């Protein structure tokens, strides 16, 4: 059997990093996965960072192992995708010295200082919060002048990887969307936004399209990973946008990306925004397209952590089996997911069930309640997108690891009253998108499977009743939190 053409793909998410060797036909040959080495930054509350050099050494080791496990694949190109909003800072010598992940909230104190929010929202397509890069940089500027004085440039985590591989520092459009310094309608850096946030425009690398070839792989990595001298380094993109591309939707299709967080998205061929500022409008890896989005926040990560508590040694299939054996919905969860039409996220969460605790209450009830919280949050956020766009789709695409749960698929089909479609390769959808951009730029025609599974709604009316109870539980917990806060204020 001859060598198959394939790619080395770096995928740095919120919780872990993966290095994948994939064939041009979509076949996954090797996956190396490790947790990300975040550290607490005590200069700020709720702040995390990573050391870029430590992460790079980790990624190099993973890449070497993935290549060694794929001796039948001829690597033609390397690309990268990553969490949105995460950035890496460089000094004047081009050395990386600070990494700030998407879950770093060091800019929280500076949100209230932003003026003319309406104008900014219309340019950047999102409310300016600490999630986005400009406010992270603002905090560094004011609180850590020693780090700020070293600051020469920054880029996204995915573009940081391709910089190290090729020596070319750029910023891809779908990632630039997340900086608050990028005019999403015009697809260009904005001088006025740089002035607003006090970020010098000369800190911004040139913008490039996803799928651009930056050059050849550096000789040191050709040698270290035993690859060919002509391996191309290709610009990737944000993980959500590549996951959407990997799902192969049409214009105006809805795509739910169920991972650590859960973006609920719609593919658009025009720029638009919500007058009530409940949505995000993102650049896409496809020219002339935008991604209209609401986001449920941390969802899949909650489920993973609860699995570690209730099912520490079992596979997810065991959870599904036990859920299928349940005869009732005895538990409701509200675990801090975000609803786009709420002004503030819910900071207090928990499980609600009848007391005294029933002997029939099982661990599967808590797992089902967690999946229900994800499904209900998706339904509420979908409603916002639907209200803004006014269309009525017959089906909705799903991708991401969360959709390995057929329970989640069925809950969504019933709550949304839509057919849920899942393509083959959905669990590695960002990687699927990366494969497609490499194939396109290299002119490789590969037979990638395009079939999908369908979950139709059923006649279980308990889910609609459960949804109403979930909304009641969420409202009750919010009111309890407000009551506790007011009592604390009065007691001072």
Average pLDDT over residues 456-477: 88
Domain boundary among 235, 258, 290: 235
Shared domain check, 157 and 52: yes
Q: Is the pLDDT of residue 489 over 50?
A: no
pLDDT single digits (tens) 229-239 = 999 999 999 99
Shared domain check, 259 and 230: no
234: β partners: 213
Q: Is the peptide bond before 111 cis (omega within 30 degrees of 0)?
A: no
Shared domain check, 351 and 468: yes
Q: How many domains are there within the chain?
A: 2
Average pLDDT over residues 370-395: 93
Label residue 333 by pLDDT band (50, 70, 90): very high
Q: Which domain holds residue 342?
A: 248-492
Q: What is the distance between the alpha carbons of residues 171 and 345, in angstroms, rounded to a whole number?
A: 30
Average pLDDT over residues 153-172: 98
Label residue 464 by pLDDT band (50, 70, 90): confident
Q: What CATH number is associated with residue 395?
A: 3.30.420.40
Shared domain check, 184 and 258: no
Shared domain check, 263 and 228: no
User: What integer best gives the mean pLDDT of the chain?
Assistant: 92
This prediction has a pTM of: 0.93
pLDDT single digits (tens) 79-102 = 999 999 999 999 999 999 999 999
Residue 376, domain member (yes or no):
yes
**Greater model confidence, 230 or 347:** 230
**DSSP reduced 3-state for 296:** strand
Shared domain check, 346 and 222: no
Domain boundary among 235, 270, 296: 235
pLDDT single digits (tens) 18-72 = 999 999 999 999 999 999 989 999 888 889 999 999 999 999 999 999 999 999 9
Shared domain check, 253 and 381: yes
146: exposed, middle or buried (Cβ count in 10 Å: 0-12, 13-18, 19+):
exposed
Residue 242, domain member (yes or no):
no
Q: In the structure encoding, which two tokens stand for residue 45, read together?
A: 């509350």
Shared domain check, 194 and 333: no
Residue 405, domain member (yes or no):
yes
Domain boundary among 205, 235, 265: 235
Residue 243, domain member (yes or no):
no
Token pair 């006090």 is found at 198
The 3-state secondary structure of 154-220, one letter per residue: EEEHHHHHHHHHHCCCCEEHHHHHHHCCEECCCCEECHHHHHHHCCCHHHCCCEECCCCEEEECCHH
Residue 241, domain member (yes or no):
no
């Amino acid at each position: 059997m001859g060598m198959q053409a394939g790619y080395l793909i770096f995928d740095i998410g919120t919780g872990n990093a993966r290095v994948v060797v994939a064939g041009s036909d979509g076949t996954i040959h090797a996956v190396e996965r490790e947790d990300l080495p975040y550290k607490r930054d005590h200069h700020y509350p709720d702040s995390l960072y990573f050391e870029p050099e430590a992460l790079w050494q980790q990624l190099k080791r993973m890449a070497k192992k993935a290549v060694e496990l794929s001796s039948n694949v001829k690597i033609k190109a390397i690309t990268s995708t990553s969490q949105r909003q995460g950035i890496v800072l460089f000094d004047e010598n081009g050395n990386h010295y600070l990494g700030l992940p998407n879950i770093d909230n060091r800019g929280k104190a500076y949100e209230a200082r932003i003026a003319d929010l309406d104008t900014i929202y219309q340019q950047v397509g999102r409310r300016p919060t600490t999630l986005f890069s400009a406010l992270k940089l603002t905090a560094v500027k004011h609180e850590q002048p020693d780090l700020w004085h070293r600051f020469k440039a920054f880029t996204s985590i995915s573009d940081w990887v391709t910089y190290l591989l090729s020596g070319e520092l750029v910023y891809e459009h779908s990632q630039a969307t997340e900086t608050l310094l990028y005019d999403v309608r015009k697809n260009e850096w904005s001088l006025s936004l740089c002035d607003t946030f006090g970020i010098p425009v000369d800190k911004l690398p040139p913008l490039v399209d996803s799928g651009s070839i930056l050059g050849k792989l550096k000789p040191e990595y050709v040698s270290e990973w035993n690859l060919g001298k002509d391996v191309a380094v290709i610009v990737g993109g944000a993980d959500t946008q590549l996951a959407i591309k990997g799902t192969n939707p049409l214009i105006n299709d809805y795509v739910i990306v169920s991972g650590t967080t859960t973006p609920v998205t719609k593919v658009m061929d025009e720029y638009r925004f919500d007058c009530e500022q409940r949505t995000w409008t993102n650049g896409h890896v496809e020219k002339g397209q935008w991604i209209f989005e609401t986001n449920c926040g941390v969802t899949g990560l909650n489920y993973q952590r609860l699995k570690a508590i209730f099912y520490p040694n079992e596979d997810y299939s065991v959870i599904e089996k036990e859920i299928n054996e349940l005869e009732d919905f005895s538990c409701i969860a509200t675990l801090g997911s975000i609803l786009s039409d709420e002004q503030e996220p819910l900071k207090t969460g928990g499980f609600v069930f009848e007391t005294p605790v029933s002997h029939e209450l099982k661990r599967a009830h808590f797992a089902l309640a967690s999946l229900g919280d994800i499904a209900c949050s998706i339904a509420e956020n979908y409603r916002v997108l639907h209200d803004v766009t006014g269309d009525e789709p017959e089906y909705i695409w799903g991708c991401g690891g969360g959709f390995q749960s057929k329970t989640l698929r069925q809950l969504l089909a019933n709550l949304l009253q839509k057919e849920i479609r899942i393509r083959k390769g959905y669990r590695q959808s960002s990687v699927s998108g990366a494969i497609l951009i490499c194939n396109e730029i290299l002119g490789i025609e590969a037979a990638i499977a395009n079939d999908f599974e369908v979950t139709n709604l059923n006649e279980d009316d308990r889910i609609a009743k459960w949804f109403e109870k979930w909304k009641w539980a969420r409202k009750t917990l919010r009111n309890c939190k407000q009551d506790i806060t007011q009592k604390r204020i009065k007691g001072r």
